[in-house]
Homo-oligomer: A and B are copies of this chain.
Amino acid sequence: MNSLISDLIAIVGESGVLLGEDVAQRSVDWFTGAPCQAKAIVRPQTTEQLSKVMALCYQADQPVVTHGGLTGVVHGGIASPDELVVSLELMNQIEEIDAVGSTMQVQAGVTLQRVQEAAQEIDMQFPLDLGARGSCTIGGNIATNAGGIRVIRYGMMRQQVLGLEAVLSDGTVVSSLNKMLKNNAGYDVKQLFIGSEGTLGVVTRAVLRLQPYMPSEQTALVAVPSFDALTALLNLVSKELANSLSAFEALWNSHYKLMTMEGSKHAPLLSTDSPFYAIIETLGLDEEQDAEAFAQVLETAMEKELITDAVLANSSAQREGIWAVREDIEWLVRSLKPLFSFDISLPIPHMDEYVNNLEKALNEQFAESAEILVFGHLGDGNLHIMITVRDDSLQSRRQVEELVYGSLVKYNGSISAEHGVGLEKKEYLKLSRSPEEIDLMKRMKQALDPKGLLNPGKILG
């Protein structure tokens, strides 16, 4: 056993260090199931342990890759045989819930779902929500500035974080566990760690902001006859339900059809011949009033021919049924193999043109074999695009990436709306960020991680 490993064991104990088979059996990519290759996985139980681990690695020039729930989709968790993985899985405690101040202090390894449930127990809510809620961790949500289905109402993870604690590459613990809504005492250093994908520090703890619980939830799946109708519908509900709109998800026909086809878990709730579908959700306080306002808006939409059909959830089972169509990524991944998955952002008015041109270009380059599915958080300007060309050669992947990202430039779109950059998108970063922005990123990296030991090669490469 080499000396680094024995030094690590001295810090975190035998059970805190995984080696050999225990490393390899862990997958770093849930799309492909690719095994972890790191020289070891270290699992600190306290910030102090992690601080010592990092100081040790700093001395030894040992690169470190941080693992949260491993549900990311941009290869942020990949570690080479020379790298060490730090997993926050044993730091998974909810440390304090303050109902008066509406805050919750947690360790980074706690799952999103446990935080949501703990908030519910005191009649509040933690509004960030996404399909991977059961396995993704708060630390990962912070590191990637996670988005999800309620950004339109509550913002991304950045908005849910009041304070945090992080360990720098040299082992320094930066405790910034602010609990207050407002704190302008100097630079807001926590922002550095939110969305920087573990390249500037390892997040160990966070103070999260809780929101009032909303007892009334209205959900509908609607069929929409055109893209113009879809944006008009978004504008209508954004205005008429401005105080309660919490999700506006769009499903292109190809996506809806696949998710409700025979063999899938989901029977189509509406006929599958509509070009677009939307899931609309509001969160409010008064069931009766909210239901009436919701139905009223859908009626208006029907009169204006913005929707052609609708199904309103009458029970939580029906609501879950509607959302399941949107969230069953497993079926999607199984049906569309090999899958190239994208997460982009562009101004809403350009989306239809962008998708149509992309489809055309794919068909030109890959003929029959290309298949494209589009869905996403329309209200946020964020689309998920799933493409297969029935071939996962690097060449095909590059070709598809060039099409997806290349045609974003003219709309000033982003190559990553909510998934981050990781290894997957770093070559395309320059399409969404100016040289001056990227230079600033490099200055920050240099200032916080001068040896380049944290998640090496991710984002900036």
Contacts and interface: CB of A to CB of B under 8 A. Distances in A.
Contacts of A194: 188
Q: How many copies of this chain?
A: 2
Contacts of A438: 186
Of A98, A147, A156, A447, most B-chain CB atoms within 10 Å:
A447
A144 interface: yes
Nearest to A98: B347
A334 interface: no
A226 interface: no
Contacts of A440: 174, 187, 189, 192, 448
Contact of A243 (B102, B144, B285): B285
A380 B182 contact: yes
Contact of A348 (B100, B144, B238): B100
A16 to B, nearest CB: 25
A460 B185 CA distance: 10
A231 B380 contact: no
A109 interface: no
Contact of A183 (B186, B191, B192, B416): B416
A347 B101 contact: yes
Contact of A380 (B147, B181, B417, B441): B181
A185 B448 contact: no
A429 B186 contact: yes
A208 to B, nearest CB: 15
Nearest to A347: B101
B448 A186 contact: no
A196 B186 CA distance: 7
Interface stretch (A62-70, A273-281, A323-331, A419-427): A419-427
A14 interface: no
A181 B459 contact: no
Interface residues of A, number: 87
A86 B432 CA distance: 30
A425 B156 CA distance: 32
Contacts of A159: 155, 159
A426 to B, nearest CB: 9
A345 interface: yes
Given A101-B347, A192-B440, A242-B212, A185 B433 contact: yes
Given A156-B182, A175-B437, 17 more contacts: A100-B235, A101-B349, A158-B188, A174-B437, A174-B440, A178-B414, A181-B380, A182-B377, A183-B416, A183-B417, A186-B432, A186-B433, A192-B444, A243-B284, A243-B285, A289-B289, A443-B447
Closest 6 A/B residue pairs (Cβ): A212-B242, A185-B432, A191-B191, A447-B447, A182-B417, A443-B447
9 contacts: A100-B235, A100-B349, A172-B439, A174-B436, A175-B434, A182-B345, A184-B416, A187-B192, A188-B191
